[in-house]
């Protein structure tokens, strides 16, 4: 029995264990960027011939070969390392081409008996030239085989793919980078060994993560490049999309490094459940192989998507941090290196590899030249050589005689003795002479490389450039110098509380109840403006940008939508899409068809948007008028605003006070104007009263409400008579055509007349004539009454004014070709 000091034994055993973990397991070598298990996997797969141009083999076979010959540890550790080198989301440049389920960020891989693998093309650049004595070989664990101490590594794998590992008393965590950028930096260090860190960082501005995303703030990266330690924040790539007419969503297409969608969904649900997150109604993972990652986070109506996104960055893994700790093995010792030191260590290793390879190739070519020269001597006197061989008793005697007669070396003499007769033709001599010249040229080139440090470095740099040309890909990760999106989030109910804490302008989580306009266009598009500036200045617009209704409301208010069948539907203003800001009239091209918000019956259309807190006037095609009292049900989303007779439809609806003027225009060019006060407000169930008396076969084609300030006499020829620009005089626009003519074959005539020229008549009367028909005309195809129209150019611009009267003195119109520019912001 031997007495052992426990303290000494524990200290000795722990040191041996710590050294084994640090050197043989957890930390990568700074030269090839690989841990021992990774290096052994790649080397063994290379020895097995698992090249990219050959078929895959079972992963279990590779694991078994590695475990049995080079790595005497558990198969799980070997397979885990092999899987990581095949995962495109773990490595920026995968080294193994996996076939089968190699796992995801949320799920592990299938068992090795189910998956297959082979080397990727990039791995060949790491293992190339191993048979040319470029690195030292060391014994394996049982001294029966040898393995490379380090791989030749034709590109800086440690910087490109990064590394992670936990040793005893230390750990490493290195970020992946872009291959093209890293090689450019390595070429700079080769060309100028005294290059500064600032010059290198111009080529390598920051990590390039496999998953893309955004890096916010670069100061921590600069610290890591300078000292080997630092940290940075990564954010998901998120876009705000209109999922439907009513729904807005945050669509995530890229996540932070090593963050899976299931983890994000789980954290979002937990944060919503604990009331940390507000404004999120649903989270859906639509990721597939065809479109890649697509995580849709639906935002509730009334919430600011930007503010919700800021909350998500704060409480979920959509924003994550990465700590850089560049601990790596240099000459067998763990060291913490900055970017410049890592590049210098790699460049030194690569120069050593290329030098040793050059020495090996030079030796091979000199040996071959030596044999070729001996063969040429033999062929020049081949008959005598054959005679010497035939007359010798044994091979040794023949070798001695050849060496003494022709002054050959033993190697040359042996090679001549091994010649075959077919190699003694005249063509062999020509080929040998050409080979001799080629070998002498190659030897001169190799010796020049070994004799010049500049040529050697140039060769290393050019080979790096070839690797970059073959494997480099565009940058995936966006780098932001500062956090431009980090605005403080606050509730709309308490903006003052957040204002004291925020350094930047606070983002309100809920959309504020600010004034705005709800707009309906003639083509049936509805939208709202972001603010409530007066709709006065004309600007660039599309053909359909004609306001049929423009209701002043608030962002969180309600309004009514009147349909042609007499229904009124309650709409939430906040549900309407917001038009982009514009210097003039809003461009309604960003609007959404009304059918996305309303359930319309067959043939039913939306005719107007109206406020719910005022009396609204409606007019129908059969000449019925009604003013509806604002006594709408609070517990219903739609109701009847007027009881229509069979075949009747609502033409228009608008707020109407007692002092306003109501106007009907019929197809037979009859116009009737009367005071709104003669139409008493009625309840929802009422059918209205007679508005204009129609002749047989006639029907109303226009109904409108003209404010009192515009219905009286006014100067519509003023320079500011543009839409809403101060003109007080309303005008009547009528366009006549032929009912029997085919569409597009009759141009018709148009007429513009001040409304003040038409006398007011009593309700339920026939009105007065507004347009005299010419030959081929028998009806009005369009009529409109409102503020003075503007003149629109073919490019979409709107002029400031147009004379109020545009027609003949006899009451007929002018040819439509002369009046096609008549248009106004309310002209439907």
Instruction: Count how many Cα atoms sit within 13 Å of the Cα of residue 405 in the half-sphere of its side chain.
Output: 15
Residue 244 contacts residue 260 (beta carbons within 8 Å): no
* Beta-bridge partners for 786: 731
Length of the chain: 828
* Beta-bridge partners for 171: 166
* Helix/strand/coil (H/E/C) assignment for every residue in 294-308: CEEEEECCCECHHHH
| Nearest in space to 243 (alpha carbons), one of 287, 299, 292, 281 | 299
Output phi, psi for 415, to 5 deg: -65, -35
**Cβ burial, residue 266 (10 Å; 0-12/13-18/19+):** middle
Both tokens assigned to 56: 């895959």
3-state secondary structure of 374: helix
Rounded Cα gap, residues 461 and 186, in angstroms: 8
* 353-358-362 Cα angle (round to 5): 150
Residue 213 contacts residue 254 (beta carbons within 8 Å): yes
The runs of H, that is alpha helices, within 669-784 are 708-711
Rounded Cα gap, residues 15 and 645, in angstroms: 99
Residue 305 contacts residue 156 (beta carbons within 8 Å): no
Rounded Cα gap, residues 317 and 264, in angstroms: 6
Cβ contacts of 672 within 8 Å, gap of 6 or more? 663, 664, 691, 692, 761, 765, 766, 767, 768
* Beta-bridge partners for 58: 116
114 assigned to active site: yes
CA distance to 162, 328, 330, 455, 726, per residue, from 333 (Å): 19, 8, 5, 31, 84
Catalytic residue among 79, 114, 257, 632: 114
Residue 802 contacts residue 538 (beta carbons within 8 Å): no
Task: Determine which helix (DSSP H) or strand (DSSP E) holds 824, and give its type and residue range.
Answer: none
Rounded Cα gap, residues 170 and 328, in angstroms: 10
Between 395-406 and 339-380, two packed helices, what is the crossing angle to 10 degrees?
90
Instruction: Count how many Cα atoms sit within 13 Å of the Cα of residue 488 in the half-sphere of its side chain.
Output: 16
Rounded Cα gap, residues 424 and 378, in angstroms: 9
3-state secondary structure of 15: helix
Catalytic machinery residues: 114
């Amino acid at each position: 029995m031997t007495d052992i000091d426990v303290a000494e034994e524990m200290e000795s055993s722990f040191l041996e264990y710590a050294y084994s973990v640090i050197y043989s397991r957890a930390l990568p070598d700074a030269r090839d960027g690989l841990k021992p298990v990774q290096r052994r996997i790649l080397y063994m797969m290379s020895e097995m011939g698992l090249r990219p141009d050959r078929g895959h083999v079972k992963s279990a076979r590779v694991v078994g070969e590695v475990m049995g010959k080079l790595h005497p540890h558990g198969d799980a550790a070997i397979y885990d390392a092999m899987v990581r080198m095949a995962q495109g989301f773990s490595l920026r440049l995968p080294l193994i081409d996996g076939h089968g389920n190699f796992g995801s960020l949320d799920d592990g891989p299938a068992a090795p008996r189910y998956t297959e693998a082979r080397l990727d093309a990039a791995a060949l650049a790491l293992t190339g030239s191993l048979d040319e004595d470029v690195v030292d070989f060391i014994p394996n664990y049982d001294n029966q085989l040898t393995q490379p101490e380090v791989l030749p590594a034709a590109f800086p794998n440690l910087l490109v793919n990064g590394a992670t590992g936990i040793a005893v008393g230390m750990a490493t965590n290195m970020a992946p980078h872009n291959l093209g950028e890293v090689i450019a930096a390595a070429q700079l260090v080769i060309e100028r060994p005294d290059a500064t860190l600032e010059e290198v960082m111009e080529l390598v501005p920051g990590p390039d993560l496999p998953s893309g995303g955004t890096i916010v703030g670069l100061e921590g990266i600069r610290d890591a490049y300078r000292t080997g330690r630092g940290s940075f924040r990564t954010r998901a790539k998120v876009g705000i999309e209109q999922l439907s007419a009513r729904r807005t969503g945050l669509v995530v297409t890229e996540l932070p490094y090593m963050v899976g969608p299931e983890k994000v969904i789980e954290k979002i649900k937990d944060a919503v459940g604990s009331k940390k997150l507000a404004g999120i109604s649903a989270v859906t993972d639509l990721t597939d192989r065809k479109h890649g990652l697509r995580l849709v986070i639906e935002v509730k109506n009334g919430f600011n998507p930007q503010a919700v996104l800021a909350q998500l960055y704060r409480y979920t893994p959509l924003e994550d941090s990465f700590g850089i700790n560049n601990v790596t093995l240099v000459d067998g010792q763990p060291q913490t290196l900055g970017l410049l030191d890592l590049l210098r260590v790699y460049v030194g290793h690569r120069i050593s590899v290329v030098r040793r390879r050059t020495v090996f190739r030079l030796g091979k070519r000199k040996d071959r030249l030596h044999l070729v020269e001996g063969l040429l001597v033999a062929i020049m006197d081949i008959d005598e050589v054959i005679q010497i061989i035939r007359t010798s008793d044994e091979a040794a005697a023949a070798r001695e005689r050849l060496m003494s007669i022709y002054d050959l070396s033993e190697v040359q003499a042996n090679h001549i003795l091994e010649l075959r007769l077919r190699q003694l033709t005249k063509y062999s001599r020509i080929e040998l002479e050409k080979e001799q010249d080629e070998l002498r040229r190659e030897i001169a080139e190799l010796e020049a490389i070994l004799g010049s440090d500049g040529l050697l470095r140039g060769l290393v740099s050019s080979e790096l450039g070839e690797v970059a040309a073959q494997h480099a890909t565009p940058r995936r990760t966006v780098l932001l110098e500062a956090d431009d999106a980090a605005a403080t989030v606050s509730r709309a109910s308490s903006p003052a509380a957040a204002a004291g804490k925020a350094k930047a302008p606070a983002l309100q989580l809920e959309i504020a109840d600010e004034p705005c306009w709800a707009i309906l266009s003639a083509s049936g598009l509805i939208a709202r403006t972001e603010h409530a500036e007066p709709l006065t200045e004309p600007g660039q617009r599309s053909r359909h940008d004609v306001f049929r209704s423009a209701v002043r409301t608030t962002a969180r208010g309600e309004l009514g939508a009147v349909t042609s069948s007499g229904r009124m539907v309650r709409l939430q203003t906040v549900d309407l899409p917001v038009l982009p800001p514009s210097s003039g009239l809003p461009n309604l091209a960003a609007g959404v068809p009304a059918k996305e918000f309303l359930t319309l019956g067959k043939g039913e259309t939306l005719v107007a948007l109206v406020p719910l807190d005022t009396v609204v006037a409606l007019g129908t095609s059969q000449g019925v008028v009604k003013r509806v009292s604002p006594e709408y049900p609070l517990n219903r989303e739609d109701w009847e605003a007027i009881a229509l007779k069979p075949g009747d439809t609502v033409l228009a609806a608008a707020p109407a006070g007692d002092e306003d003027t109501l106007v009907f225009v019929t197809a037979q060019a009859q116009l009737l104007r009367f005071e709104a006060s003669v139409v008493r407000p009625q309840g929802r169930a009422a059918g209205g009263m007679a508005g204009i008396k129609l002749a047989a076969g006639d029907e109303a084609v226009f109904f409108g409400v003209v404010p009192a300030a515009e219905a009286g006499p006014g100067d519509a020829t003023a320079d500011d008579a543009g839409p809403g620009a101060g003109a007080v005089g309303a005008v009547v626009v009528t366009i006549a055509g032929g009912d029997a003519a085919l569409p597009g074959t009759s141009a018709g005539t148009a007429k513009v007349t001040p409304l003040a020229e038409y006398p007011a008549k009593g309700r339920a009367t026939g009105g007065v004539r507004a347009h005299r028909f010419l030959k081929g005309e028998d009806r009005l195809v369009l009529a409109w009454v409102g503020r003075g129209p503007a003149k629109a150019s073919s490019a979409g611009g709107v002029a400031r004014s147009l004379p109020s009267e545009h027609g003949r003195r006899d009451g007929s119109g002018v040819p439509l070709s002369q009046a096609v520019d008549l248009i106004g912001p309310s002209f439907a």
